[in-house]
Chain A
Amino acid sequence: MPESRPRRGQTLAERAAFVREQARWIRKRALRIVFEARQGHPGGDLSATDVLAALYFDAMRYDPADPRWQARDRFILSKGHATGALYSTLALAGFFPQEELTTYMQPLSRLNGHPNRNKIPGVETNTGPLGHGMPVAVGIAIAAQIDKADYRTFIITGDGELQEGSNWEAAMTAGHRKLASLTLIVDRNRLQQGAGTEDTVGLDPLDDKFRAFGWDVVEVDGHDIEALLPLLDGSTPHDRPLCIIANTVKGKGISFMENKASWHHGVPNAEQYEQAMKELDA
C-alpha cells in the first residue's frame, strides 16, 4: 500500500497548521502564475484554496506516483476555471514538477486554462463548462457503491455554477441512491462573474435545497481549516451524500481583491502583485 495520505501531525491544531502553510504556498503560487500568464481567475482560485489544501494535505488518500490507483479518493474541480489554485495544489502534492507551473497557459503547455485529465496526472475529468462535475462524481460514487469499495469522491462547485440544471439532476440521483461516499463542497463566495449570486438568480436557502434533495448539509467558514478538517476527514460517518456549504471570500487573503466580482478574471499589475505577495507573506 503506497503512502496514501499526506496528513502531518496528530492533533487537530497540528494538522491545521500544516494545511495552513500549504494553503499559503498555493495562494502565492496561484497568484504568481496568473500574474505571469496575464490571465486566469484569481478571485475563485483564492476562495477555493483552503478547501483544496484541506483535501490534498489532510483528508484525501492518493499516490502521485500512481495517479490512477484504483483505491484513490477522487477529487473533481467542477469550477474548472480555478486552475491557478488546482495546478499549484497538484504540483505541491507531487503530481507534476513545480517548475512546470511557469508554463501556465503558454502555447502548447499541458497546463491549459481548464484541466485535461489525459495530460495532467491527478485530474479526474475535463471540466470547464459549468455543471459537469456533479454527474461525473455521482457516477464514480455509484461505481464505488457497486464494488463496495471504500474510496471517497470529493467535488468543489462554485456557487453561481449551481444555476446549471445538470447539478440538480445529479443531486437528485445522489440523494435517491444514498451515495454516502460523496462529499460536495460549495465554494459559497456569493459572487459570480459579473455580480452577486443573490442579485443574479438567488440560491438561498441553499441548505434547504440540498436537504430536500436527500443530502446531509453543514455550513462552515470555508477558510477555517480547523473547522473544515473534521468535516472532510471521514471521521463523521454519513449514510447520505454530504454537502458542505463553505462560506468563502472571493479573492481571500488579498485586501484589494476580497469580495470584488471584478477579480473573477482580473489580473494584477506589477504594483498590485507586489502588494498581494506581501499580504500573503504576512
Chain B
Amino acid sequence: MSSPATQKSGLFDCRDAYVKTLEALGAADERIVAVVNDSVGSSKLGGFRDKFPERLINVGIAEQNMVGVGAGLANGGKVAFVSGASCFLTGRSLEQVKADVAYSQANVKLCGISSGVAYGELGPTHHSIEDVAWLRTMGDITVLVPADPWETEQCIRAAAEMDGPVFIRISRMGVPALPRAADASFTIGKADILREGGDGAILANGTMVCRALEAAETLAVEGISARVVNMCSMSPIDEDAILAAAQTGAIVTVEEHSVRGGLGSAVAEIVSQNAPCRMKILGFAGFQPTGSAEFLMEHSGLTATNIAASLRGLLGR
C-alpha cells in the first residue's frame, strides 16, 4: 500500500460515508435528526436536509446551544446526530458534553467533523487534537475513531442502534479503504487485528491506521513481524487486545491527536499496570505551527517511515 500522501486516487473522505449512512438510517427511522451549527456544508449534510428538511436543525453559530438542543431532542424521543467541526463541538461545548450528554446519559451522537489537524494551515484554533483526551476521561460516553469509510459506516450504525451518548471522530483527510475479510464485523469495545505479528505491535486509529499497515509491510521486508491493531473504540477500550499486544514486548502507538491523553496514554494506563513493556507514543506534542495537514503529520513523525523506525528503535534493530 502506498502512502496517502503520494496516492491520491482511491482515497476516501469519511464524511461521505457518514452522510450516506445517516441518510439511509434517516429513511428507515423517523427518530433520526441532525443538529448543526451552520455547518451543513462542512458536515456534508445538504443531502440529508433536502430529504428530511424538518429533521435538519440548524441552530446557527452556537455550539453550546447545539449540544444542549441535541440533548433536548433526545429527551423528546429523537436520536440526535449533532455535527460540527470537532474543535468547536468538543472545545466550545465541553461542559454541555459533560453535563447534558455524558452525565445525563442522553441519547446523543456527537459527530466531530474534520478532527485532528485536517484544517492544517488554519492553525491550532481549528485543529482538534485534544478531543479524544477530553471525552475519554468522562467514561460515560462511547468514543470512536474510525479509520476508513467502512468503519465510519459501522460506527454510525452502531451509534444509532445503542441507547446512550457517543462521540465519533470523522476526518476529512483522504484515507484508503482498508483490506478486510468479507465477513468483517464491527463491535464497540473490540479492537481489530489487521495484521498478525509477534515481534512488536503498532496500535493506531483513525487516519493513522493505513500508515501503520504500510510501516508493518516495510518492517516485514526486513524480517520484523509487526502486529497492527486498529483501536477504533477508544472508550470502552479493548484491554485484552492491548495486553496481548504487550506480550510481543514492544508497542508503538500512533494517533492524529495530542500525545497527552489519547490512544498512547490509554494504552500506557493499561500496559504500565498489568504488563509493562517498551512503548513509543507517536502524536502531536502540542499546538502546531503553520502547515498543511500532511506537512504537520510529517513534521511530527506521523509517517509510515517513522512508525517503522520507532518500532525498530524499541527492538534495538
Which residues of A are found within 8 Å of B54, using beta-carbon distances?
Answer: 146
Stretch at the interface among B101-109, B219-227, B229-237: B101-109
- Contact indicator B60/A132 (Cβ below 8 Å): no
The answer to whether A144 has its CB under 8 Å from any CB of chain B is yes
Pairwise interchain contact B75-A139, C-beta atoms closer than 8 A: yes
Closest to B80 in A: A139
**Contact in complex: A147, B65 (CB < 8 Å):** no
Q: What are 24 inter-chain pairs, A to B, with CB distance below 8 A?
A: A117-B104, A124-B75, A125-B71, A125-B100, A125-B106, A126-B104, A129-B95, A131-B64, A135-B68, A135-B69, A136-B68, A136-B72, A136-B75, A138-B72, A139-B73, A139-B76, A139-B80, A140-B75, A143-B72, A143-B73, A166-B65, A169-B64, A172-B60, A173-B59
* B65: chain A residues within 8 A (beta carbon): 135, 138, 166, 169-170, 173
Does A172 contact B33, Cβ atoms closer than 8 Å?
no
| Residues of chain B within 8 A of A143, CB atoms compared | 72-73, 75-78
In the complex, which residue of chain A has the Cβ closest to the Cβ of B33?
Answer: A146
Q: What residues of chain B lie closer than 8 Å to A129, measured between beta carbons? A: 95, 99
Contact (A166, B64) CB under 8 Å given A129-B95, A146-B54: yes
Query: In the complex, which range does the number of interface residues on chain A fall in?
Result: 20 to 34
Nearest Cβ in chain B — how far from A184, in angstroms?
14
Give B55's nearest chain A residue, CB to CB.
Answer: A146
Q: Chain A, 160-177, contact with B by CB distance < 8 Å: what is the 0/1 string? A: 000001100110110000
CB proximity to B under 8 Å, residues A92-129: 116-118, 124-129
Chain B hits for A127, CB < 8 A: 99
A169-B62 in contact (CB<8A): yes
B interface residues, Cβ below 8 angstroms from A: 33, 35, 54-55, 57, 59-60, 62, 64-78, 80, 95-96, 99-100, 103-106
Whose C-beta in chain B lies nearest to the C-beta of A125? B104
Assess the B71–A173 pair: CB atoms within 8 A. Answer: no
Q: Which residues from B are CB-within-8-Å of A141?
A: 72
Residues of A within 8 A of B59 (CB): 169, 173
A134 within 8 A of B: yes
A128 to B59, CA, bound (A): 23
Closest beta carbon of chain B to A231's beta carbon, Å: 23
Listed in ascending order, the chain A residues whose CB lies under 8 Å from chain B are 70, 74, 116-118, 124-129, 131-132, 134-144, 146-147, 149, 165-166, 169-170, 172-173
B104→A118 contact, CB < 8 A: yes
Known: A125-B106, A137-B72, A173-B65. 18 other contacts (CB 8 A): A116-B103, A117-B104, A118-B104, A126-B103, A128-B99, A132-B96, A132-B100, A134-B68, A135-B66, A138-B72, A139-B69, A139-B73, A139-B76, A142-B69, A142-B72, A144-B76, A170-B69, A173-B62
Closest to A117 in B: B104
Residue of A nearest to B63 (CB): A169
Contact in complex: B73, A142 (CB < 8 Å): yes
Q: B100 touching A135 by the CB < 8 A rule?
A: yes
Inside 8 A of B62's CB, which chain A residues have their CB?
169, 172-173
B296 vs chain A, min Cβ distance (A): 32
Alpha-carbon distance between A116 and B67 when the two chains are bound, in angstroms: 18
Tell me the smallest distance from the CB of A201 to a CB of chain B, in Å. Answer: 18
Given contact pairs A143-B76, A144-B76, A138 touches B104 in the complex (Cβ within 8 A): no
Q: Would B99 and A126 count as touching, CB distance under 8 A?
A: yes
A144 to B73, CA, bound (A): 9
What is the CB-to-nearest-CB distance from B138 to chain A, in angstroms, rounded to a whole number? Answer: 13
The answer to whether B67 and A135 touch across the interface, beta carbons within 8 angstroms, is: yes
Q: A125-B104, A170-B65, A173-B59 are in contact. Are A140 and B99 (CB under 8 A)?
A: no
- A114 vs B65: C-alpha distance when bound (angstroms): 21
A118: shortest Cβ distance to chain B, in Å?
Answer: 5
Distance in angstroms from A42 CB to nearest chain B CB is 24
Q: Which residues of B sit under 8 angstroms from A128, Cβ to Cβ? A: 99
With beta carbons under 8 angstroms apart, the residue of A70, A135, A137, A147 that contacts B64 is A135
User: Which 10 pairs across A and B sit closest by C-beta, in order of nearness?
Assistant: A139-B72, A143-B76, A135-B68, A169-B65, A139-B69, A169-B62, A136-B72, A140-B72, A166-B64, A126-B104
B132 to chain A, nearest CB (A): 23
Closest chain B residue to A165, Cβ basis: B64
Q: Are A74 and B75 in contact (CB under 8 A)?
A: yes
The listed residue with most B CB atoms (<10 A of its CB), out of A74, A141, A166, is A166
In the assembled complex, which residues on chain A have CB atoms less than 8 Å from the CB atom of B66? Answer: 135
Smallest beta-carbon distance B63→chain A, Å: 9
Contact B96–A135 (Cβ < 8 Å)? yes
Contact A173 B60 (CB under 8 A): yes
* CA of A165 to CA of B63, assembled, Å: 11
CB-based nearest B residue for A176? B60
B60 to chain A, nearest CB (A): 7
